[in-house]
Amino acid sequence: MGELAGKVALVTGAASGIGKAIAQAFHQAGARVVIADLDGDAAEAVAGEIDGGRGDAMGVAMDVADEEAVNQGFDEVASRWGAVDILVSNAGIQVIAPLVDLEFAAWKKMLAIHLDGAFLTSRAAMRQMIAAGKGGSILLMGSAHSHVASKFKAPYVTAKHGLLGLARTIAKEGAAQGIRANVLCPGFVRTPLVEKQIPEQAKELGISESEVIANVMLRDTVDAEFTTLDDIARVAVFMAAFPTNALTGQSLLASHGWVMD
Ligand code: NAD
């Protein structure tokens, strides 16, 4: 029996990158997993890849910034499998631009996906957890940028810092019902989100792509190495499975020592 046997876990943004790796690890640990993503077809495909058609992974189309879509997605899961036990609020995008050039629409879109998305999915998960009376675990996908800033990432840094406040509040409000909330803070992981920003950063900074990797992304790590999908999936299983309120309202950094807080 895996550490997450009998649990229902919903992971947003799980059709790609970190979310997909976490969903795979949760499934291996025994959970039934919901792949919730803006791209519903990709979510279905990943669910099939994970469970090989056995029916213990499901794809759900969900825009995390859309209140109705979030509530509908959670209802769909509840009618099939009952209340979720674990939420990983992971969906996210990146925009690289100097603050003075940043469009207001881009700022609002970033905060909508990262902060509205975390709020809406946490609220839906908490409502189900409270109604089912069995508590649960909420993991918000933060970043090293929950603790430090970098140039050209104003809305991302702002949103990722904001998640710390949300997790701490959920930890206080959810404790009586056995609901825990924590933030997982990775360093750079080579996903599509990061591959896209390497040339964008090179352009903004006027340096080569290899210099972006060596001098921007990995400069302050202890070993000049990227964090891996496997690293983050392992930490996510540990945090999701942790059985008591000893671990709530916390953020855990997995960044090769880039940030030591
Ligand atoms: P990714 O681009 O590989 O995957 C992101 C997924 O989110 C995609 O499947 C996309 O379709 C989905 N998505 C985007 N907008 C959505 C929306 N409105 N509703 C639902 N789904 C949506 O990116 P990733 O690198 O795996 O990033 C996942 C999370 O990890 C993000 O929150 C990101 O900020 C965070 N993170 C990434 C890194 C890194 O280095 N890759 C580091 C720290 C934190």
* Active-site annotation holds for 156: yes
Q: What is the DSSP string of 10-27?
A: EEETTTSHHHHHHHHHHH
Give the per-residue pLDDT at 169: 98
What digits encode the pLDDT tens for the residues 113-152? 999 999 999 999 999 999 999 999 999 999 999 999 999 9
What residue has token string 């701490």? Answer: 168
Give how far the C-alpha of residue 207 lies from the chain's centroid of Cα atoms, to the nearest Å.
30
Q: What is the percent of the chain where pLDDT is above 90? A: 99
Q: CA-to-CA distance for 32 and 24, rounded, in angstroms? A: 10
What residue owns the CA closest to ligand 1's atom 4?
16
Give the per-residue pLDDT at 261: 83
Give residue 145 CA to ligand 1 midpoint distance, Å.
Answer: 14
Q: CA-to-CA distance for 77 and 8, rounded, in angstroms? A: 9
CATH number, domain 8-187+227-254, options 3.40.50.720, 3.40.50.1220, 3.30.70.920, 3.30.70.980: 3.40.50.720
Residue 109 has pLDDT above 80, yes or no: yes
What are the CA-CA distances from residue 50 to residues 20, 28, 41, 161 (Å)?
9, 9, 14, 32
Q: What is the mean pLDDT of residues 29-46?
A: 98
pTM of the full structure:
0.98
Q: CA-to-CA distance for 106 and 168, rounded, in angstroms? A: 27
Using most ligand atoms within 8 A of CB, pick from 64, 122, 193 the residue to mutate for ligand 1.
Answer: 193
| CB-based contact 138:87 (threshold 8 Å) | yes
Give residue 88 CA to ligand 1 midpoint distance, Å.
Answer: 12
